[in-house]
């Protein structure tokens, strides 16, 4: 065992008390983290079947992207049970909402050797499918020890992450060498994996599965319900998946915008809905009448999303969208949901998580850069004043989504054949 791998195993054991403290602190704000804690230590519910395909999808965004892939692979292997694990309660809710009884769900064990071993003893998976960037050394090492194939789907590797992986040396080298196959979003990620020592035959470029997202079945009824209950004849712009520090910029931009558009409301959706009450309070300090969307419908200048999984519905009401995580060092969140609705988009300069996706929307002329409240207000103002431009950009956004579909079919076909073998 490489020294770095041994050190990781030792440090992961030493980190256990701190992880429990963090889980307790987070559980005070988000009660879901206080539930089913034994699962995080590898104690699996008796209902979980053995010898199935194990998908790990982390949180809500990855889960939504994985749902059609899970269904497609499941159709190719109908006799095999499927287990989907997540890390966050929001991911758990999305599994229940979209997959229901089609799969089993439990929380993924923390990457501690004993927790992972206990989980693997109970589940005995025939394969592990990881999404995007979830490379956990102890989990992958244990799969290698038990001859369980491991697949990384929708993989992305930025230059910054690649530099970090190189610094981990033998630990990451051993982890990557234990993978069975890596399905990359784009060629640049495949090249970076290859530069880290992954053999080319282990790499495929299949596109981004998030472009294959479909509207929920109830999208029209939810849109009408919003218009009837909340819109009150107002025009809407939206800021989705925002973080602390970004909300101040968005609210300052809204303050500038209502000087030109007195019929304008802002929907502000924080990345973590339990922060909604804090965001409402922040909006009031800017002088706005603000309320959460789960409350009593009343005309408001700022509406704050406080429920997980609603953003894809709320984009339908908006004329312009700001995509969050892009004015801080988060690296940007997914603009594809807004584009699916044909909504022109604005983002900040931090886009590393979706760099290639953003590049495609920018080239199509439907996504714009703003680095300050003044620039954000200016971009949104220009779009609000020009309905024809909004239509053109909206069509362009939808076309980018359409042109980039097909990743799920490509991955499912290859992955399904591998699982059948």
Known catalytic residues are: 62
DSSP assignment letter at 304: E
Cβ neighbours of residue 279 closer than 8 Å, sequence gap 6 or more: 242, 247, 268, 270, 290, 304
Find where tokens 């949901």 sit: 337
- Report the 10 Å Cβ neighbour count for 112: 20
Helix (H, G, I), strand (E, B) or coil at 315: helix
Residue 240 token pair: 């989705």
For the stretch 76-100, what's the b/e string if a residue is b when 16 or more beta carbons lie within 10 angstroms of its beta carbon?
ebeebbbbbbbbbbbbbbbbeebbe
State how far the Cα of 210 lies from the Cα of 406, in Å rounded to an integer: 10
Q: Which alpha helices (H) appear in 203-354, and where do they start and end?
A: 219-226, 246-257, 276-285, 311-314, 336-340
Residue 32 near residue 198 (C-beta atoms within 8 A): no
Closest of 247, 241, 310, 258 to residue 284, by C-alpha = 247
Contact 347, 376 (CB under 8 A): no
Q: CA 27 to CA 34: how far, in whole Å?
A: 5
Residue 346 backbone phi and psi in degrees, to 5: -130, 140
The phi and psi torsions of 294 (rounded to 5 degrees) equal -90, 0
Q: Are strands 82-86 and 203-205 parallel, antiparallel or unpaired?
A: unpaired
Residue 45 and residue 106 in contact, taking contact as beta carbons nearer than 8 Å: yes
What is the helix (H) or strand (E) element at residue 321, kind and residue range? Answer: strand 320-323
Q: Which helix (H) or strand (E) holds 269?
A: strand 264-270
């Amino acid at each position: 065992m490489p020294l770095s791998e041994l050190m990781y195993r030792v440090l992961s054991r030493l980190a256990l008390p701190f992880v429990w403290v963090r889980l307790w602190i987070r559980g005070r704000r988000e009660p879901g983290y206080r539930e089913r804690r034994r699962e995080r230590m590898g104690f699996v519910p008796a209902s979980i079947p053995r010898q199935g395909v194990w998908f790990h999808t982390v949180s809500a965004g990855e889960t939504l992207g994985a749902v059609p892939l899970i269904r497609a692979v499941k159709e190719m292997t109908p006799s095999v049970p499927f287990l989907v694990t997540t890390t966050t309660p929001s991911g758990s809710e999305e599994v229940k909402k979209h997959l229901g009884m089609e799969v089993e769900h439990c929380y993924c064990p923390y990457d501690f050797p004993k927790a992972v071993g206990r989980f693997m003893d109970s589940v005995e998976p025939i394969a592990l499918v990881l999404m995007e960037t979830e490379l956990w050394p102890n989990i992958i090492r244990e799969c290698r020890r038990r001859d369980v194939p491991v697949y990384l789907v929708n993989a992305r590797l930025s230059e910054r992450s690649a530099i970090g992986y190189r610094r981990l040396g033998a630990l990451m080298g051993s982890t990557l060498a234990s993978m069975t196959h890596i399905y990359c979003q784009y060629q640049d990620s495949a090249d970076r994996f290859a530069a880290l020592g992954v053999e080319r035959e282990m790499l495929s470029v299949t596109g981004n599965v998030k472009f294959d997202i479909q509207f929920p079945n109830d999208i029209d009824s939810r849109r009408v319900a919003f218009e009837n209950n909340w819109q009150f004849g107002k025009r809407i712009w939206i800021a989705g998946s925002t973080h602390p520090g970004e909300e101040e910029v968005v609210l300052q931009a809204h303050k500038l915008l209502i000087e030109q558009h007195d019929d304008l409301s802002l929907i502000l959706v924080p990345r973590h809905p339990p922060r909604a009450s804090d965001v409402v309070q922040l909006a009031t300090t800017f002088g706005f009448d603000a309320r959460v969307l789960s409350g009593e419908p009343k005309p408001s200048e700022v509406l704050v999303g406080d429920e997980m999984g609603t953003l894809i519905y709320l984009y339908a009401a908006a004329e312009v969208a700001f995509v969050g995580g892009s004015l801080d060092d988060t690296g940007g969140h997914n603009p594809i949901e807004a584009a699916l609705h044909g909504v022109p988009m604005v983002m900040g300069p931090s886009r590393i998580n979706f760099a290639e996706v953003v590049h495609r929307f920018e080239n199509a002329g439907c996504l714009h850069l703003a680095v300050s409240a003044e620039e954000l207000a200016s971009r949104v103002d220009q779009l609000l004043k020009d309905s024809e431009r909004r239509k053109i950009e909206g069509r362009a956004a939808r076309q980018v989504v359409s042109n980039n579909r097909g990743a799920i079919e490509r991955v499912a076909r290859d992955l399904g054949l591998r699982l059948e073998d």
